[in-house]
Copies of this chain bind each other. A is one copy, B any other.
């Protein structure tokens, strides 16, 4: 017997994602990138975003990151734990990071990075940057170097003072 509850559940996610995908199509028509995302809470959209990287000259203006920022502004809180993030494409490590910092409850996405590169002309030359995050800093494409500084921990000690006053 099919699991009806599971089917209904999946169908809701598919509806939100289809709407998100349509936003992404519209965004391309308006000169943006082929990505969109929404943040949903209690069945309502509280944050929307489409890829605006080239429009805004902002490498962080990915759909997911903008949707998360708008949702947090709506709630005046950085806690999205009771929200769901829907993304038309598989979120990149930066967007996944923003989602984690917002403690968003669930992430659903429609097409995977591999499908996009295999089935369309859309290629991302920067993906190679993300594969070497596990390498030692000096072997990465972008060298990542720790420098010894005497006052390196000063900001945290200052932070400690403010928390002690509370």
Contact = CB atoms under 8 A, between A and B. Distances in A.
Interface of A: 10, 13-14, 17-18, 21-22, 24-25, 27-29, 33-36, 53-54, 57-60, 65, 68-69, 72-73, 75-78, 80, 88-90, 92-112, 115-116, 119-122, 126, 129-130, 133, 142-160, 162-163
14 contacts: A21-B154, A25-B154, A53-B78, A57-B76, A59-B101, A60-B98, A90-B146, A92-B101, A101-B126, A103-B129, A107-B145, A108-B147, A109-B144, A122-B159
A77 to B, nearest CB: 6
B107 A155 contact: no
A131 to B, nearest CB: 10
A82 to B, nearest CB: 13
Nearest to A144: B107
Contact of A100 (B95, B106, B130, B152): B130
State how many copies of this chain the complex holds: 2
Given A34-B158, A104-B142, A152 B122 contact: no
Given A24-B158, A100-B126, 18 more contacts: A18-B151, A21-B155, A25-B154, A34-B159, A60-B65, A60-B69, A88-B155, A89-B155, A94-B101, A96-B144, A97-B97, A100-B129, A100-B142, A107-B143, A110-B152, A121-B160, A122-B159, A122-B160
A73 B58 contact: yes
